[in-house]
Amino acid sequence: MSDLKNQRVVVTGGAGFLGQAVCRQLDKLAVKDVFVPRSSEFDLTRADHVARLFDHAKPDVVIHLAAEVGGIGANRLHPGRFFYANLAMGLHLIEQARQSHLKKFVQIGTVCSYPKFCPPPFQESALWDGYPEETNAPYGVAKRALGVMLDAYHREYNLDSLMLIPVNLFGPGDNFDLQTSHVIPAMIRKFCEACDKGLDEVTCWGSGLVSREFLFVEDAAQAIVQASDQVSVTEPINLGTGREIQIADLAAMIAKICGFTGRIIWDASQPDGQPRRQLDTSRAKNLFGWQAKTSLEDGLAQTVSWWQKQLAACPPAVSAK
C-alpha cells in the first residue's frame, strides 16, 4: 500500500491527455505533493536528465505515463523513434528508481504489446504468446521489455512496481491531429468537419471489419490512481471495459452523434492493424475492485461535444481528407 496522500508523486507525461486526467484523480484523492516534469526541462530519454529529475523532485512514487505514440500512420512513419524513445525513457527511469530506493514505480503499458492473433478476451498471461501486430510492434515490444525489467528489478533489488495495461483510450482533450491521432478522435474530426462543410461522404482507413475496445480516459485515470494507492503485484493488470465493437459500427455511432448523414467510404488500401482487441479485466476487479463506469455511448457524446466546442472557438484551417 503506497498511501499516496502522504507521498511525493512524480507523474511523467502529466501534462498530456492521460496525464492531466491522472493529476485530476490525484487531486480528488487529496494528494498534495505532485510534480509534473516538462520535456523542455527533462529529456527522459537521457540518463543524466532522469538523474537530475530524481535529484530535483525527490519522489517517493513515480507514475510513468510519458510516451511517444500515435495511430497506425504515425507508427508506420516512426518505428525506430517509437521503439527507442519509449524503451529509453522507461529504462533510465527504472534504473534511477533502483538507485534512489524509490518506494513504488508504476509503469503504464499498452494493449499493442499483445500478440497480433491473441484470442479475445486478452488475458495478461498471453502477453508473450506471439509477436505483436507489425505496424505497432516496435512500440509494443518496448513496453513489453519494461515489464520484464520491472519484474527482474523486483526479484533482484526488491523494487516495488506495478504494470498497468490500458486498452485504447479516448475522451475530451484527446489528440485530434489527423497525422498522429488514434481512431476515435480522427473519426470525430472527419465527421464534424464534413458536417460543417456540407460534405456527403467521409473516407475512413481500413476495411472497417476489425474490432476494438475503448476506455474513457477518466475511468483509466481513476484505475491508475487507485491501483497505485492500493496494489503491489509484479503481474501486469489489464484496464478496459470488456466491450468489443467493430470499427464500422463505431464509425456509424460517431457519425450519428456528430450529425453526419452521408456515406462512409472504407479505404481498404490502408492497414487495419490488429484483427481484434478485447481485454479480460477480471484481474483488476479481483485485486482492487475496479470496473469502468462510462459507457462507450456516453464517452463518445462527451468527446464529440468537447471537440465541437473547439471547432466553434477556432475553426480548422485545413479540411479533413
Which residues carry out catalysis? 139
How far apart (Å, rounded) are the C-alpha atoms in residues 136 and 112? 7
How far apart (Å, rounded) are the C-alpha atoms in residues 10 and 55? 12
How far apart (Å, rounded) are the C-alpha atoms in residues 218 and 21? 6
Rg (CA), the chain: 19
- In the sheet that holds 34-35, the strands lie side by side as 34-35, 9-12, 61-64, 104-108, 161-166, 237-239
Q: Is residue 289 left, alpha or beta, with left meaning phi > 0 and alpha meaning psi from -120 to 50?
A: left
Q: Is residue 246 left, alpha or beta, with left meaning phi > 0 and alpha meaning psi from -120 to 50?
A: beta
How far apart (Å, rounded) are the C-alpha atoms in residues 112 and 72? 11
Query: CB-side exposure of 86: number of CA atoms within 13 Å?
Result: 30
User: CB-based burial of residue 84 (10 Å sphere; 0-12 exposed, 13-18 middle, 19+ buried)?
Assistant: middle
